[in-house]
Amino acid sequence: METFQALLARKLAEALAAADLPPTGSVTPATDARFGDYQSNAALVLAKQRGENPAAVAEKILAHLKVGEWCEAPTIAGAGFINFTLRTEIVAARTADLLQDERLGVEKVAPPKRIVIDFGSPNVAKPMHVGHIRSTVLGDALARIASFLGHDVVRDNHIGDWGTQFGMVIYGWKNLLERAALERDPIAELVRIYKGANDRATADPAVREACRQELVKLQAGDAENFGIWKECVALSLREFEAAYKILDVHYDIQRGESFYNDRLADVVERLLKSGLAEISEGAVCVFFRDIPELADKPCITRKRDGGYNYATTDIATVDYRIQDLKADTVWIVTGAPQQLHFRQIFEIARREGYTADFRHITHGSILGDDRKLMKTRSGDNVALRDVLDEAVVRARKIVDEKNPELPDSERGDVAKIIGIGAVKYADLSQYRMTDYIFSWDRMLSFQGNTAPYLQNAYVRIRSIFRKAGEEFVPAKTLTLTAPEEKNLATRLCQFGEVVPTVLNDFRPNILANYLYELANSFHAFYEACPVLKSEEPSRSSRLALCELSARVLAKGLDLLGIKVPEKM
Ligand code: ARG
């Protein structure tokens, strides 16, 4: 189903061609409903380019614009905008079609891409903290949307399960470990022994050397150290899994850093052989002398002591994703501080001849009330587990207050859906690069651009159908008389326009904002138009609008990884 936006853009392009004008400008939803449903800036852009009068250019375009079947006569407004108002019957017919369309008007892209999405990717032997929400939730939403659009998606958890910290962890394990504590709270104990080893190493060079030796032994495949390492990884994975379960996030593969271990030597040899890398002060480096911002920032792929780096692993990861996983597109979701790193990795990949589309999708931070990185009172990172638990507890309180009639057996699930949904939505409704302040009150509010507000709109609709007590039979045609009806229907038809645009710049907040506006349109409609008490043909038509609103809200939230309850 061609969206209205695509259709008008096509008609505009035809008109420009017929008027002997170059293809220019775009068609976008109108910023103000008084000016119609869509607008185009084509005349403005062309007039500026050619030094002509915008209104005159707009007239010229209008003379060739053939949209009579779909729109009222287009008008020229302001400095030369062309405004389109869809004909009500057209919107009504499209809305009726959408009710028959499982995809709710979202077309699959052709040809689909094979996309590896690397997101979340926490480090072993450290607790997942609140900062992990962003990469995990953003990556998951992008993966859901890409899959829905028909792409072939591989979700990869590139966990940090190898590296110099294991020297400390193993030393700590052998000298400081308390088994009972490990059983009670494995990650806390791992953190404790790591810190303990680190403190001792700082104070005592002999301990520092002992830690280094443990690392060397691990890297040489010593059985005892390897066993300890494996146990640490397994304990961490168990904790990660628990978080993913609550968050409803899954991975297709989990290729941690250790997976690439035995490929690193070859990577470095290859880079040296091809001349991409050179030896500098004993280390093997790739220089970027022709890129001004990188000119003094070489990428070290083998340290002077023979050890490999995070970067070496990522170069091997590129090989694996392109050659083994056959990706043509790679998206890596991390915080902004890794920008330089991936700039280097992608540049090396390009020099090695890889033509895949590599994207580093960065995000900002989650801040506390003091506008600094969110921390506990004692200055530690806030554990993810604690945040998710608290979200559910707080949501439960709200459910208890708002809906005392809800059976006890359902409240737990509803609280989970609301609490976790609120945390995710607070993140995804922000532009990903924006730092935002974590606020329970705001994210759990039933007013404003929040998950509970959207979930509540859905629940309201479900209760209309429960009250009706009849099975929903989709109306074959819709009758849109009130302006609120047409407005809601037009918005519903825009779902197919909005979803694909999320991937242009990886902005789920565009979808979130759309859903928020949809819920507003629904509420305006619901205030203005009685549903169950209205006469036919309005009644069926309004029920159809309700049903489609519920479906779009639920699907839109699902694409963001957020569930909807039937009651709340
Ligand atoms: N483990 C890393 C971190 O916590 C993120 C990994 C991102 N992916 C990658 N291929 N390097 O910062």
Looking at residue 72, which CATH number applies to its domain? 3.30.1360.70
Is 399 within the bounds of a domain? no
Count Cβ neighbours within 10 Å for each residue of 235-248 and write b for 16 or more, e otherwise: bbbebbeebbebbe
Kindly give the distance from the C-alpha atom of residue 119 to the centroid of ligand 1, in angstroms, as a whole number: 8
Q: What is the pLDDT of residue 501?
A: 97
341 lines ligand 1 (CB under 6 A): no
Is pLDDT above 90 for 78? no
DSSP codes, 282-299: TEEEE--TTSGGGTT-PE
* Of 61, 55, 69, nearest in space to 7 by CA: 69
pLDDT score recorded for residue 376: 84
Cα 334 to averaged position of ligand 1 atoms, centre (Å): 7
Closest ligand 1 atom to residue 160 Cα is 1
Residue 536 included in any domain: no
Last residue of a domain, one of 181, 214, 247: 247
Separation of CA 122 and ligand 1 centre (Å)? 7
C-alpha distances (whole Å) from 210 to each of 194, 197, 216, 456 are: 14, 10, 10, 58
Domain membership flag for residue 485: no
CA nearest ligand 1 atom 11, residue: 314
End-to-end CA gap in the chain: 35
Ligand 1 contacts CB of residue 123 (under 6 A) = yes
**CA dist list (Å): 193 to 205, 206, 217, 543:** 18, 17, 19, 61
Measuring from atom 7 of ligand 1, which residue has the nearest CA? 121
For residue 172, tell me if it sits in a domain. Answer: yes
Given this model, what pLDDT does residue 181 score?
96
Q: What single letter denotes the amino acid at residue 19? A: A
Average pLDDT score over residue span 324-348: 97
Task: Answer whether 121 contacts ligand 1 (Cβ < 6 A).
Answer: yes
Instruction: Give the residue, out of 158, 162, 342, with the most ligand 1 atoms within 8 A of its beta carbon, to mutate for a pocket test.
Output: 158
Of all helices (H) and strands (E), which one includes residue 29?
strand 27-29
Domain that holds residue 229: 165-247
Residue 533 three-state SS: coil
Overall average pLDDT of the 66-72 stretch: 94
Residue 310 falls inside a structural domain: no
3-state secondary structure (DSSP) of residue 558: helix
Our count of domains for the chain comes to 2
**All residues at 6 or more sequence positions from 68 whose CB lies less than 8 Å from its CB, including other chains:** none
CA of 198 to the centre of ligand 1 (A): 23
* Helix pair angle (186-203, 205-219), 10° resolution: 130
Helices (H), 51-110: 54-64, 88-99
d(CA 236, CA 556): 32
Which band of pLDDT confidence, cut at 50, 70 and 90, is reported for residue 32?
A: confident
380 pLDDT more than 90? no
- For the record, the structure tokens of 419 come out as 């609490």
Residue 236 has pLDDT above 90, yes or no: yes
| DSSP-assigned letter for residue 111 | S
Please give the distance, rounded to the nearest whole angstrom, from the Cα atom of residue 426 to the centre of ligand 1: 23
- Closest Cα to atom 3, ligand 1: which residue? 122
User: What integer is the mean pLDDT of 199-220?
Assistant: 94
> 74 preceded by cis ω (within 30°)?
no
Euclidean distance between CA atoms 91 and 121, whole angstroms: 44
- The finding on whether 128 has its CB within 6 A of some atom of ligand 1 is no
pLDDT average, residue stretch 116-125: 95
Please indicate whether residue 163, judged by its CB atom, sits closer than 6 Å to ligand 1: no
Note the maximum CA span of the chain.
87
- Residue nearest atom 6 in ligand 1 by C-alpha distance: 121
Rounded Cα gap, residues 299 and 295, in angstroms: 10
Q: How far is the CA of 118 from the centre of ligand 1 (A)?
A: 8
- Alpha carbon distances (Å) from 298 to 279, 312, 315, 347: 11, 13, 14, 12
- Vertex 389 angle, CA 444 and 410, to 5°: 75
pLDDT of residue 1 exceeding 90: no
**Is residue 312 within 6 Å of ligand 1 at its C-beta?**
no
Nearest to 426 by CA among 560, 283, 267: 560
pLDDT tens digit sequence for 506-561: 999 999 999 999 999 999 999 999 999 999 999 999 999 999 999 999 999 999 99
Within a domain: 420:
no
Ligand 1 atom index nearest CA of 159: 1
As a dihedral over the C-alpha atoms of residue 324, residue 330, residue 333, residue 337, rounded to 10 degrees, the angle is 100
Judged against a pLDDT cut of 90, whether residue 145 lies above it is answered with yes
Span from the CA of 131 to the centroid of ligand 1 (angstroms) = 13
Q: Which of 220, 247, 274 is the last residue of a domain?
A: 247
Which helix H or strand E contains 394, and what residues bound it? helix 384-402
Beta strands 283-286 and 299-302 are antiparallel
Number of residues that this document lists for the chain: 568
Q: Is 314 in the pocket of ligand 1 (CB under 6 A)?
A: yes
The residue nearest atom 1 of ligand 1, judged by CA position, is: 160
The percentage of residues in the chain with a pLDDT greater than 70, rounded to a whole number, is 100
Centroid of ligand 1 to alpha carbon of 407 (angstroms): 43
In a domain, 35, yes or no: yes
Which domain-ending residue is among 247, 277, 304?
Answer: 247
On whether the CB atoms of residues 367 and 430 are closer than 8 A, the answer is no
User: What's CA 418's distance to the chain center, in Å?
Assistant: 19
**In angstroms, what is the span from residue 129 Cα to ligand 1's centroid?**
14
29-33, 201-205, 222-226, 253-257: least confidently modelled range: 29-33
Backbone angles phi, psi at 37, to 5 degrees: -100, -35
What residue spans of 494-537 are helical by DSSP H? 495-501, 508-528
CA distance 350 to 328: 13
> In angstroms, rounded to a whole number, what is the distance separating the alpha carbons of residues 475 and 547?
11
Residue of the nearest CA to atom 8 in ligand 1? 158
- Is 281's pLDDT higher than 90? yes
Q: Is the CB of 158 under 6 A from ligand 1?
A: yes
Q: Which residues pair with 39 in a beta bridge?
A: 28, 83
Q: Which atom of ligand 1 is nearest to the CA of 314?
A: 10
Instruction: State the burial class of residue 227 (Cβ atoms within 10 Å of its Cβ: 0-12, 13-18, 19+).
Output: exposed
Task: Give the whole-angstrom CA distance, residue 385 versus residue 130.
Answer: 8
User: What pTM does this model have?
Assistant: 0.95
Q: Using CA atoms, how far apart are residues 562 and 469, in angstroms rounded to an integer?
A: 27
36 domain residue, yes or no: yes
Mutate to test the pocket of ligand 1, among 119, 121, 346, 381 (most ligand atoms within 8 A of CB): 121
Q: Tell me: pLDDT of 40 over 90.
A: yes
